[in-house]
């Protein structure tokens, strides 16, 4: 028996040995080629990361160090090659090669066909991203790149230390340090307000570096890139150089690698060599398990992470609340719980275990009751949720019958519950096509145990068409598989409508985009056109394809405008109605308004400029035209103001003339007609009449008086107009006149003929260069000119105005009579324009022609029809002594004392009894006392207190048959038409001669 036991034991030992040998044979072997030496800070972290993956898998890892941080000359590399070749020839073959950092990776690539023949290569810690990516082309190489997070680290420095105005990089001559320095300056372009500089050990010794660090300003931060060897050739380990830097530096020191954390480095978004090694080992493990290495692409996104030293952040006053949420913070103060966490957890665990035992005993007693109660509550909760759900819930059995229906489903189907329960949908009257679809899906769920989904339209009880999302789920039992199917329908009509509205909105947006008149565009911050609307072809003549990808600066007529627009946009975040000038395909400038905004990425960096440009060339033209119209309006307003002034002057002047004319006429009655004094008085009366006519011309000219067509001779109008012009036009310009006295009278308005002469002569004056020339005015018979033209065949006279000026260009000659057309500068001319002259001539039944050549002067010919029969001469004269008079009682009202006394004497000489009042209220009071006492009222219009028309209205209201005559020197408030509406019998314009006054009074009293 003892022998049998020994034999069994020996057999078991042999089997164990065989199993051990086979296990040894199946153990995978991996060689790690490290670029540096064992004491280099990154080396142990990479190895620890690899072992964290390999050790659980029983993978053997051998490590070889190249020591290339301290030695990288050709002799050293050749010695490494020989040593590795010798070692690998004496060892069992490896299954895979891992390299860490660039030097080892480049060495392995250089000797893949000799030393490492046939070995799959996985790299980590490679800083040269392009070199790492090129490994994708090799079927036996993959790995993970080591990309520094320069931009993220600079951002977190500014975030934690917002007062920072400059960042200084500490670097030495090592290739990796110099490469990181280039990245440092390249990234600095994204921080325009920040100073970027360096302290380089290629120019400084370690003591000089310490002096420079101690002199740093408080608003500075230091970024440590590499500091192993100085200008003098002194080499230090990383720990030694770091210790010197942080001890001499009065500002925070940030780093891009994990080594140095806990030794004075504040932190940053750092490269974790542990994660590099772990990632590379994970890729290696997939390859060792049989995955084809060619299927594994290079991992470019370096697994970096934010890490900070709590003590350093507190020392330099950083705001810890601004740390990223996923940041790792070391050296954070440990609380009491953290210090005694193990003990506290043990006590809590024991207490919890005892509590659990107690509760387990109690729970075990009521377990069954609670389970039953839970089952009931579960069913109740299901029904409660189901009945209160807006979704339609139906449970089906294998015969497609409805064995449960919630209230929402009942409402949807519009049937009582007893007509739905235990019935199929076919039996409830649902459409055949829908029933086929539902039963097919329910059967599939029963057979496969997998859920199904359908979206369909269903007509509800109110005949409204609903869109339903119907989902069918299996319900299992422990033994029988799928026993029922649960159908849940959700109304997605509103969602579908929203989707349709979204599509319509997109279509509308696309339609606007395709048809918008403004030019919509998107560019990169550098100005490259990424998108532009088709309307650019209508504005600038370019097609979209011609401009996409080109620089928008090429379209600017003034390239500097692009820089100003971008600067304004970067400062304010947008620009509104910013004016620029673009050139179209033919080089024509287009003034435009630009509106634009900045589109930024999640980090806040600008990625797009988006906006629109509006062609405002027509608007500019319209604004220029508007300014011209405004200038003409101001000129018209000046004329209107002049007319208002003329009206005021006319009123006072007429009141002055009235007594002069009245007393003169009465003096002529009292003196012998043949005496010298009578002759003087007649001259005074003639001058007064001319003054009266002149005032009326002024009023007509300013449009304050009605235009009255009457027969008149043109000859005196011409002479009077030339007298006025001679006083205005420089004496260096000669006036010539040829006036034929045989020309007959015309029917029209003398003032308007005066306007024509003033306008044409003024234009001629402005056309004469250097104010040295001649203006000629002539009047002669023209015969029957109507037979050639649109004029009727009558006798005409011809009024001609010619000058020796510069003439009129052919283009302007065609538009010379157009409204608002002028070739003069603002401020010159009468403001009437030749269009007004043309209108006056046509209104008088005549025609106007113009002949002009540039440099040859201008001739205007005006033809006016001559009266076929001469007008009747007045039958009597104001001085004839046969004026009509009477014995009636006249109430005379005027606020001017001189006029009141003169009129009273004039009327009394005509035989009338006169009562004179100096104001409207005084006259009204006298009239109210005895309205029947007066036969006629003669009143001025413009009086203080009560106007003449108001007085007339009151008197007529008291006595409707009282005749009233109103007199005015000038008033905008009264006219012949208004007088008729008031019921006034007569209306006279001051100054009034005795004949007109006497005849008007007799006409009114006679009922005329």
- Residue 327 has a CB neighbour count (10 Å cut-off) of 14
What pLDDT is attached to residue 651? 67
Q: Decide if 389-497 and 889-1005 have a common fold.
A: no
Beta bridge partners of 458: 466
Q: What CA–CA distance (Å, rounded) separates 165 from 757? A: 80
What pLDDT is attached to residue 429? 82
Within the chain, how many helices (H) and strands (E) appear? Answer: 30, 34
User: What are the boundaries of each domain within the chain?
Assistant: 23-146+271-302, 150-263+305-330, 334-379, 389-497, 516-615, 707-873, 889-1005
Q: What CA–CA distance (Å, rounded) separates 300 from 879? A: 122
What pLDDT is attached to residue 816? 80
Residue 661 three-state SS: helix
Q: Name the strand (E) or helix (H) holding 1001.
A: helix 994-1005
Residue 429 sits at the vertex; the CA angle it makes with 423 and 430, to the nearest 5 degrees, is: 95
Q: Which sign, positive or negative, has the C-alpha torsion 997, 999, 1002, 1006?
A: negative
Where b means 16+ CB within 10 Å and e means fewer, 533-560 reads bebbbebbebeeeebeeeebbebbbeee
Per CATH, domain 150-263+305-330 is 3.40.50.2300? yes
Query: 389-497 has which CATH code?
Result: 3.30.450.20
Least Cα distance to 927 among 903, 948, 897, 951 occurs for 951
Least Cα distance to 698 among 765, 638, 759, 639 occurs for 639
Q: How far is CA 781 from CA 587, 709, 801, 844, 858, in A?
A: 59, 21, 15, 17, 21
Least Cα distance to 992 among 888, 892, 886, 889 occurs for 892
Q: Name the strand (E) or helix (H) holding 3.
A: helix 2-26
Residue 809 and residue 853 in contact, taking contact as beta carbons nearer than 8 Å: no
Q: What CA–CA distance (Å, rounded) separates 444 from 222? A: 68
Residue 932 and residue 960 in contact, taking contact as beta carbons nearer than 8 Å: no
Which residues in the chain come in under a pLDDT of 50?
1, 6, 14, 17-25, 704-705, 786-789, 826-827, 829-831, 873-880
Least Cα distance to 736 among 755, 722, 720 occurs for 722
Q: Which listed CATH number (3.40.50.2300, 3.30.450.20, 3.30.70.120, 3.90.1300.10) goes with 23-146+271-302?
A: 3.40.50.2300
Query: 889-1005 has which CATH code?
Result: 3.40.50.2300
What pLDDT is attached to residue 660? 86
What pLDDT is attached to residue 1? 46
Helices (H), 702-825: 714-726, 750-767, 810-813
**C-alpha 407 chain-centroid distance:** 53
Domain 516-615: what homologous superfamily? Answer: PAS domain (3.30.450.20)
How is domain 707-873 classified at the architecture level of CATH? 2-Layer Sandwich (3.30)
Q: What CA–CA distance (Å, rounded) separates 803 from 521? A: 59
């Amino acid at each position: 028996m003892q022998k049998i036991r020994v034999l069994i034991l020996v057999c078991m030992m042999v089997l164990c040995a065989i199993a051990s040998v086979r296990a040894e044979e199946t153990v995978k072997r991996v060689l790690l080629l490290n670029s540096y030496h064992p004491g280099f800070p990154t080396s142990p972290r990479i190895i620890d990361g690899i072992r964290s993956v390999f050790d659980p898998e029983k993978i053997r890892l051998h490590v070889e160090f190249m020591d290339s941080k301290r030695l990288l000359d050709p002799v050293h590399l050749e010695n490494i090659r020989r040593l590795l070749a010798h070692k690998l020839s004496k060892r069992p073959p490896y299954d895979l090669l891992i390299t860490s950092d660039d030097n080892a990776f480049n060495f392995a690539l250089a000797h893949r066909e000799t030393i490492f023949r046939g070995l799959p290569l996985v790299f980590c810690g490679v800083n040269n991203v392009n070199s790492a990516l090129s490994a994708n082309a090799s079927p036996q190489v993959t790995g993970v790149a080591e990309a520094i997070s320069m931009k993220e680290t600079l951002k977190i420095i500014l975030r934690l230390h917002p007062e920072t105005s400059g960042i200084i990089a500490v670097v030495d001559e090592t290739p990796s340090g110099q490469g990181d320095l280039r990245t440092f300056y390249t990234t600095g372009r994204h921080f325009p307000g920040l100073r970027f500089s360096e302290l380089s050990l290629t120019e400084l010794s370690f003591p000089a570096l310490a002096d420079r660090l101690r002199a740093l300003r408080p608003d500075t931060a230091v970024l440590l890139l590499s500091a192993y060897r100085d200008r003098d050739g002194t080499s230090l380990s990383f720990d030694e150089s770091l210790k010197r830097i942080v001890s001499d530096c009065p500002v925070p020191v940030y780093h891009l690698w994990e080594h140095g954390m806990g030794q004075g480095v504040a932190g940053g978004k750092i490269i974790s060599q542990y994660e590099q090694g772990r990632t590379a080992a994970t890729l290696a493990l997939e390859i060792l398990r049989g995955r084809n290495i060619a299927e594994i692409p290079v991992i470019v996104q370096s697994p970096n992470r934010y890490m900070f030293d709590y003590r350093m952040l507190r020392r330099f006053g950083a705001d810890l609340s601004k740390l990223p949420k996923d940041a790792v913070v070391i050296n954070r103060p440990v609380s009491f719980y953290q210090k005694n966490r193990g003990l506290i957890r043990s006590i809590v665990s024991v207490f919890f275990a005892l509590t659990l035992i107690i509760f387990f005993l109690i729970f075990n007693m009521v377990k069954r009751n609670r389970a039953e109660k839970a089952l009931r509550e579960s069913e109740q909760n299901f029904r409660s949720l189901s009945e209160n759900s807006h979704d339609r819930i139906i449970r089906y059995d294998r015969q497609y019958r409805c064995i449960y229906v919630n209230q929402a489903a009942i409402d949807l189907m519009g049937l009582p519950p007893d007509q739905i329960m235990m019935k199929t949908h076919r039996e409830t009257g649902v459409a055949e096509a829908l029933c086929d679809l539902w039963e097919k899906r329910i059967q599939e769920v029963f057979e496969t145990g997998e859920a199904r989904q359908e979206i369909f339209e269903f007509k509800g009880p109110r005949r409204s068409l609903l869109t339903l999302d119907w989902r069918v789920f299996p319900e299992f039992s422990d033994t029988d598989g799928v026993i029922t199917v649960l159908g849940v329908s959700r109304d997605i009509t509103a969602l579908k409508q929203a989707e349709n509205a979204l599509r319509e909105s997109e279509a509308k947006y696309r339609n606007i985009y395709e048809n918008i008149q403004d030019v919509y565009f998107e560019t990169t911050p550098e100005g490259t056109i990424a998108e532009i609307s088709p309307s650019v072809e209508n504005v600038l003549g370019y097609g979209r394809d011609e401009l996409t990808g080109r620089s928008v600066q090429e379209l600017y007529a003034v390239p500097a405008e692009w820089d100003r627009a971008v600067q304004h946009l970067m400062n304010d975040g947008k620009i509104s109605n910013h004016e620029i000038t673009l050139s179209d395909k033919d080089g024509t400038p287009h003034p435009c308004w630009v509106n634009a905004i900045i589109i930024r990425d999640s980090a806040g960096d600008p990625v797009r400029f988006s906006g629109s440009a509006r062609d405002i060339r027509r608007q500019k033209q319209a604004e220029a035209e508007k300014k011209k119209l405004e200038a003409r309006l101001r000129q018209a307003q000046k004329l209107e103001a002049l007319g208002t002034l003329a009206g005021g002057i006319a009123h006072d002047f007429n009141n002055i003339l009235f007594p002069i004319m009245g007393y003169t006429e009465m003096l002529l009655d009292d003196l012998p007609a043949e005496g010298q004094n009578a002759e003087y008085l007649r001259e005074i009366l003639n001058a007064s009449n001319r003054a009266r006519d002149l005032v009326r011309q002024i009023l007509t000219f300013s449009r304050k008086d009605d235009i009255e067509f009457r027969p008149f001779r043109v000859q005196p109008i011409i002479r009077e107009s030339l007298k006025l012009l001679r006083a205005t036009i420089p004496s260096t310009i000669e006036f010539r006149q040829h006036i034929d006295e045989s020309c007959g009278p015309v029917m029209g308005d003398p003032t308007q003929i005066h306007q024509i002469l003033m306008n044409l002569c003024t234009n001629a004056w402005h056309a004469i260069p250097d104010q040295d020339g001649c203006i000629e005015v002539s009047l002669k018979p023209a015969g029957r000119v109507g037979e050639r033209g649109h004029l009727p065949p009558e006798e005409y006279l011809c009024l001609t105005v010619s000058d020796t000026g510069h003439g009129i260009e052919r283009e302007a000659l065609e538009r010379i009579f157009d409204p608002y057309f002028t070739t003069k500068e603002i401020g010159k001319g009468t403001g009437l324009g030749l269009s007004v002259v043309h209108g006056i001539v046509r209104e008088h039944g005549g025609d106007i022609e113009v002949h002009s050549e540039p440099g040859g002067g201008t001739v205007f010919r005006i033809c006016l029809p001559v009266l076929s029969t001469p007008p009747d001469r007045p039958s009597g004269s104001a001085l004839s002594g046969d004026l009509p008079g009477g014995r009636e009682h006249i109430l005379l009202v005027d606020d001017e004392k001189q006029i009141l006394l003169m009129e009273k004497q004039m009327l009394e000489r005509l035989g009338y009894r006169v009562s004179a009042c100096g104001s409207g209220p005084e006259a009204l009071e006298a009239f109210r006392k005895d309205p029947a006492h007066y036969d006629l009222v003669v009143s001025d219009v413009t009086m203080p207190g009560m106007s003449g028309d108001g007085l007339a209205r009151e008197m007529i209201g008291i006595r409707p048959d009282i005749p009233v005559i109103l007199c005015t020197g000038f008033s905008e408030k009264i006219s012949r038409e208004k007088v008729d509406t008031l019921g006034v019998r007569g209306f006279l314009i001051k100054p009034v001669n005795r004949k007109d006054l006497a005849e008007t009074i007799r006409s009114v009293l006679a009922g005329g």
